[in-house]
Structure 1
Amino acid sequence: MSRSLRVAFAGTPEFAAGHLRALLDSRHEIALVLTQPDRPAGRGRQLTPSPVKALALEHALPVHQPERLKEPADQAPLVEADIDVLVVVAYGLILPRAVLDLPRLGAINVHASLLPRWRGAAPIQRAIEARDARSGITLMAMDEGLDTGDMLLVRETPIDEHTTAATLHDRLAELGSETLIEGLDRLAAGELPATPQPGDGVTYAAKVSKAEAELDFSRAADELAARVRAFNPVPVAWTRLGEERLRIWEAVAEPRAATDSATAPGTLLPGPTDALRIACGHGVLRVTTAQLPGGRPMPIQQLMHNRRHLHGAGMRLGRHS
C-alpha cells in the first residue's frame, strides 16, 4: 500500500464539504483546512460559518479563513502545515503562484465539468442549460490560469431531460469525492500522470445571475425547459403572472398542436389541469411544478385549486408589448 499524504484542504460550500468528508474517511492526514470567512446569512444576517468550516470544527481540524492569500502573513499557516499536497474544491479565492508552489507534490483541484468545457464558476448550471449530454469530474493539477491545468483523472456522468442542477450537483459531489481519493492514492504511489488539456472545445461557465432566470417565451420551449432545470434550485426560473412572480420549478418541452400554431408566445393554452401549457416561440412549455409568492413549490393541479384564474386559457404570462 502506498504511503499516506499530509493534506491541506481548501473549500467553502456544501459541494466541497462532501469532499472533505471523504478525505476524513481516507487514510490521508488533514493538516489544515482553508475556507472563506464567515458571511451573513438568513433573515437575521447572522455571521455563519461555511459548510466546510462547520465540518472541520466538528472534527477538531485547524481552520484558516483569510480574506485573500496574497500576503506572507496569510500564507504562513500553509507554510507551517508542511504539506505534501493542497486539495482545492470550490474554494472561491484565487491562489497565487507562491501558494501553488508550497506543497511538495503541488495543488490539485476537483472541477465539476469535463475540461476544457465549462471552465469557471458555474459548470453544473451551464452544462444543463446548454443541453449537454454528459458532465463529469476533472481532477486537475492547478496552475495560475482559470481551470487551465493538466488533467489527472476524468470521470463522466450522463445528463438527461430530467437532470436538474440539484440532482447533478449531488451526483458530481459523490463522483468527485471518489475521484479525489483515487487520485490521492495514486499520487502517493507515484502513479498519477498528467495530460495537458486539449486546445479545442474550451468554454467558460459564467456565474449565473438572477436576471437570467426570467423566462422569455419568444424563445424555443426546449431551451426554456433546460433553463428551468439549470436554475433549480438557484436562482429558480420565473415569469410574470400579472403583478406577481410565478416561480417555475419543473417543466418540459412539447410540440405545438396545429390548432395552437398562431398563438402568441406566453399565452396559456387549453389542456389538462395537471400542467400549465405555455405557448413559446417554438413549441410549448409544459409546467408541472410552480410556486406563488409566499407559498411553496407545488404541483400545478394544487396551485390551480388555490388560484382558479389559472385555468383560463388565453391569458398571457411574462413580458409582452
Structure 2
Amino acid sequence: MSRPLRLIFAGTPDFAAESLAALLASRHDVVAVYTQPDRPSGRGRKLTPSPVKALAQEQGLPICQPVSLKVPERQAELASHEADIMVVVAYGLILPRAVLEIPPLGCLNVHASLLPRWRGAAPIQRAIEAGDEESGVTIMQMDAGLDTGDMLLIRRTPISATTTAGELHDRLASLGGEAIVEALDALSDEGLDATPQPEAGVTYAAKLSKAEAELDFTRPAAELAARIRAFNPWPVAWCALGNDRLRLLMARAASIAPGEAPMPPGTLLAHGADALRIACGEAGDQVLEVTRAQLPGGKPLAVSELLKARAERLAPGIRLGHTDEEATA
C-alpha cells in the first residue's frame, strides 16, 4: 500500500464537518484545518466557532481562519504545511489560482450535486425544487472556474416525493465523506481518471433568499409542493394567514375532487384526513395538500394534530395569501 497523503482540509458548516470526520477516521493525515472566522450567533450574538472548527479543536488540529487567501503571507502559510493535497468542502472563501497550485496533487472539492447540473451555492435545494429524481456528490479537481473542474468520482442517491432539503443534506454529507476518502485512497494507490465536465446539462444553483419563501398560489401544485420540501428547513415556505404567517413544511400535489368547483387560488378547501387542501394554479383548479405546518407561536405539527388544536384558524373558505379583510371582501 502506498503512503497516506498529507492533506489540508478547508470547510466551514456541518456538511463539511462530516467530510472532516471521515478523513480523520481514514489512513490519511490531516495536517491543518482552514475554516471561516468565528461569527456572531444566537440572541447574545456571541462569537461562535464553525462546526469544522469545533471538530478540529476536539482533535487538537492546527486551525487557520484567514479572512482571505489572496494575500501572499496567507499563501506562504498554507504552503508551509507541505501537504500533498487540499480538500475543500463548503469553505466559503474563493481560492485564487496561486493557492490551487500550491499542493502537488492540487485541490479537491466535495460538491453536493451531479455535475455539471447545479453548479453554485444551493445545489441541494435547487435539485428538489426542480423536481430532480436523483442527486449525489461529485469529487472534483478544482480549477479557477465556478465548479467547472474535472470530475474524479461520482456517487448518486435518489430524491423521493417526500425528500426535504434537510434530509438530502444529511444524506449527501455522509455520502461526501465516504466519497472523498475513497477518492484519496485511489489517488494514493493506483490513481483516478479525471473526466472533463460535459458542456451539455450545465445549470446554476442560485443562492437561497428569504424573499423566495413566500408562496404564490397561482403557481402549479407540483411546483409549490417541491418548493415547500426544498425550503425545509430553511428558509421555510410560508403564506399569509390573515395578518400572520402560516409556515408550510411538507406537501404534495393532488387532483381536485369530483364535483368540486375551482376556487380562487389560495382558498382553503374542505380538509382531507391528514391535509390542508389549498386551491392553486392560475384558475384555482389544482390542489396543494399540506400535511405538516406551523402556526405563529406554535410548534411544527402534522396537520391532523394542528386541526385538533386550532381548527378555527384554518376553516374552509379562508383565503391564504390575503389579509382577513381581503378574504371576506
Partner residue, 2:154: 154
**Secondary structure at 1:56 match in 2:** helix
* 1:28-63 deviation per Cα after TM superposition (whole angstroms, max 9, x unaligned): 001110000000111111100000000000000000
Q: Is the 8 A contact 2:6 2:85 kept in 1?
A: yes
CA RMSD between the two structures:
1.3
Partner residue, 1:164: 164
Partner residue, 2:121: 121
Partner residue, 1:310: 313
Partner residue, 1:175: 175
The alpha-carbon deviation at position 160 of structure 1 amounts to: 1.2
Moved over 4 A (4+): none
The alpha-carbon deviation at position 271 of structure 1 amounts to: 2.8
The alpha-carbon deviation at position 113 of structure 1 amounts to: 0.3
Partner residue, 2:39: 39
Q: Is the 8 A contact 2:37 2:49 kept in 1?
A: yes
Matches within 5 A, 1:277-296: 277-281=277-281, 282-296=285-299
Partner residue, 1:301: 304
Partner residue, 1:69: 69
Matches within 5 A, 1:163-242: 163-242=163-242
Q: Is the 8 A contact 2:239 2:320 kept in 1?
A: yes
CA distance in 1, matches of 2:314, 2:19: 46
Q: Is the 8 A contact 1:2 1:185 kept in 2?
A: no
**Secondary structure at 2:201 match in 1:** coil
Farther-moved stretch of structure 1 (101-110 vs 275-284) = 275-284
CA distance in 2, matches of 1:77, 1:238: 46
* 1:95-150 deviation per Cα after TM superposition (whole angstroms, max 9, x unaligned): 00010000011100000000000000000000000000111110000000000000
Amino acid at match of 1:68: S
**Secondary structure at 1:81 match in 2:** coil
Unaligned runs of 5+ in 2: none
Q: Matched residues, percent identical?
A: 64
Q: How many residues align?
A: 321
* 1:248-288 deviation per Cα after TM superposition (whole angstroms, max 9, x unaligned): 11111101124334211100111335321001115211111
Q: Is the 8 A contact 1:216 1:319 kept in 2?
A: no
CA distance in 2, matches of 1:219, 1:98: 47
TM-score w.r.t. length of structure 1:
0.97
CA distance in 2, matches of 1:244, 1:319: 10
CA distance in 1, matches of 2:87, 2:208: 25
Q: Is the 8 A contact 1:228 1:249 kept in 2?
A: yes
Amino acid at match of 2:297: G
Unaligned runs of 5+ in 1: none
CA distance in 1, matches of 2:125, 2:217: 20
